[in-house]
Chain A
Amino acid sequence: MDVAVIGASMTQFGKREGWIRDLLAEAGEACLSDAGVAPTDVDHLYVSNMASGEFEGQTGVPNMLAHDLGAMPAYTARIDQTSSSGGAGIYHAWQSVASGTSEMTMLVGGEKMTHRSTAESTDIIASITHPVEYKHGLTLPSFAGLTARLYLDKYDAPRESLAKVAVKNHKNGVDNPHAQFRKEVDLETVMESPLVADPLRLYDFCPITDGSAALMFCPEEVAKEYTDEYVVVSGVGGATDTHVVHERDDPTVMGGVVESGKQAYEMSGYGPEDIDVAELHDMFTILEFLQSEGLGFFEPGEGWKAVEEGVTERDGDLPVNTSGGLKSKGHPLGASGVAQGYEIYKQLMGEAGARQVEADVGLCCNVGGFGNCVITTIMEARQ
């Protein structure tokens, strides 16, 4: 059974006044309205969220959201797969419809983070690490620094190539009204920003963000009752890599990206050459290289050249992160994968406004931990 997406929403990303319940309800309400679906017609309601308990002492968020939206008696569940919770939510929402269990599934992803200090947020995120990593003070940014140094050394890539990812994604973010940062940055600013995890600097990292996003899924036959234009989930794949990051044979290869991509390509019948637009998980600039290579867009060690040559610019052969990416749009953990889906949905529907590119088939890749778990989704336009 083909699974359609018939509605999407996202809140403003950034520093927000509301708490997780407010943000989820805001995106949920907007998604119901966008799809033209009544709350009581939702059979399954999934919430992608990593750490509402750790961030604000609020647990049980799916039930809370169902009541706030009047979506009883929908079946609810929270999907936690750290940073890839949103992508995992897409996987579960797809599964619920494809299996015939649900005729209408709403997925809402969200996180509220900015009320915590940077050190506290970093520690909450680092709590995914193995004890032998945690006790040495390993953080996700430090994994990025370790991998970036190795990549630059192994492939003789210039440091500037990483900075150009940030420059590109900030430029795209200017045209995204929901983005946390809508400001261009130049190469010099990135290269001279404070060191965070040598060789990576402040502008190589995404910010800490509050926000929420939502998608509405149903069988293609049901979609036709609601709308003439919709998007279909053509393929979805999920995979894990080692929990202990240093145990990977080649730390510059994200096995979860390769495997989840392979699954999504196989299910969809599409290959890397068929993808018109992609949202990649640029939590750190180096991740855009690793994913663009792991998904087969470029050969291993060549991802940096694509950025240098402008291939991944909005007017290039393969626009990457037209939304601004996590880098400028922001990264509310549980919302990010859903917001990637939102961007691809908007692009395929031709509703992306100033950041619109020509696209019939789009891909999003959502990474949890430091590539510990990955979800890749391929969607295509239908009318």
Chain B
Amino acid sequence: MSFDAYRCPNGHITYPSHPLCPECGEKQTETVDLTEETATVITWTTSTATPPGVEAPNTIAVVEFDVEGETVRAIGQATTDEIEIGDEVRPVYADQLREPGAGIREPESQEWDGYRFEPVL
């Protein structure tokens, strides 16, 4: 699995993808793999009241990647609650972020693996 952001012909990048680019309405035509990139923590929270199928406490971060001068944000679990705004993090693959079927959403409706964020020490 790769950590794909999506780019339209006008250079706008989004994560996740959209059928039409939210900036300009063009179709997104390229993918940009963020797996080997690092990002900066914009903000984070540790949630103790987690929904069914999610381990508590659940630390979540919003991070920002810089890809050739364009920025793209992503959100996801952090591997630790020892993080701060401004920290540098890298994506780490997890084959199951949340137990499929434990929550309200139909298990087959989406994928359950993805990337957590780990501080770069």
CB contacts between A and B, total, < 8 Å: 125
Q: What residues on A are CB-neighbors of B49 within 8 Å?
A: 118-119, 122, 139, 141, 196-197
Q: Are B43 and A132 in contact, with the CB atoms below 8 A?
A: no
A200 to B46, CA, bound (A): 9
| A198 located at the interface, meaning its Cβ lies under 8 Å from any Cβ of chain B in the complex | yes
> Which of the four size classes fits the interface of chain A?
35 or more
Q: Are B74 and A246 in contact, with the CB atoms below 8 A?
A: yes
Task: Choose among B73, B74, B97 the residue that contacts A137 (Cβ–Cβ < 8 A).
Answer: B97
- The chain A residue sitting closest to B49, CB to CB, is A196
The smallest C-beta distance from A95 to any residue of chain B, in angstroms, reads 27
Task: Choose among A139, A245, A246, A247 the residue that contacts B51 (Cβ–Cβ < 8 A).
Answer: A139
| Known pairs A122-B51, A146-B60 / 8 extra A-B pairs, C-beta < 8 Å | A127-B103, A134-B103, A136-B60, A137-B77, A137-B97, A142-B58, A145-B60, A149-B45
Given A146-B62, A149-B85, decide whether A135 and B48 contact each other with a Cβ distance below 8 A: no
Tell me the interface secondary structure of chain B in the complex: loop
A interface residues (Cβ-Cβ under 8 A, vs B)? 54, 118-120, 122-124, 126-127, 130-139, 141-142, 145-150, 153, 194-200, 242, 244-247, 251
Q: What residues on A are CB-neighbors of B44 within 8 Å?
A: 146, 149
Q: What residues on B are CB-neighbors of A141 within 8 Å?
A: 47, 49
Q: What residues on B are CB-neighbors of A118 within 8 Å?
A: 49
The smallest C-beta distance from B21 to any residue of chain A, in angstroms, reads 11
Q: Are B22 and A123 in contact, with the CB atoms below 8 A?
A: no
Q: Are B47 and A133 in contact, with the CB atoms below 8 A?
A: no
Task: Choose among B43, B52, B111 the residue that contacts A135 (Cβ–Cβ < 8 A).
Answer: B111
B interface residues (Cβ-Cβ under 8 A, vs A)? 14-16, 22, 42-55, 58, 60, 62, 73-77, 81, 85, 97-98, 103-105, 109-112, 114
Q: Are A196 and B104 in contact, with the CB atoms below 8 A?
A: no
The smallest C-beta distance from A85 to any residue of chain B, in angstroms, reads 18
Q: What residues on B are CB-neighbors of A194 within 8 Å?
A: 48
Q: What residues on A are CB-neighbors of B114 within 8 Å?
A: 132, 135-136
The smallest C-beta distance from B92 to any residue of chain A, in angstroms, reads 13
Q: Are B51 and A146 in contact, with the CB atoms below 8 A?
A: no
The smallest C-beta distance from A109 to any residue of chain B, in angstroms, reads 22
Q: Are A123 and B52 in contact, with the CB atoms below 8 A?
A: yes
Q: Are A135 and B51 in contact, with the CB atoms below 8 A?
A: no
A312 to B49, CA, bound (A): 30
Q: Are A251 and B43 in contact, with the CB atoms below 8 A?
A: yes
A251 to B81, CA, bound (A): 21
A91 to B75, CA, bound (A): 33
Q: Are A150 and B43 in contact, with the CB atoms below 8 A?
A: yes
Q: What residues on B are CB-neighbors of A242 within 8 Å?
A: 22
The smallest C-beta distance from B13 to any residue of chain A, in angstroms, reads 11
- The chain A residue sitting closest to B61, CB to CB, is A146
Q: Are B110 and A134 in contact, with the CB atoms below 8 A?
A: yes
Q: Are B60 and A198 in contact, with the CB atoms below 8 A?
A: no
Q: 26 A-B contacts, Cβ less than 8 Å apart?
A: A54-B104, A118-B49, A120-B104, A123-B103, A127-B105, A131-B16, A131-B109, A132-B16, A136-B77, A136-B97, A136-B114, A137-B51, A137-B77, A138-B60, A142-B45, A142-B60, A146-B43, A146-B62, A194-B48, A195-B46, A196-B48, A197-B49, A198-B45, A244-B75, A246-B74, A247-B22
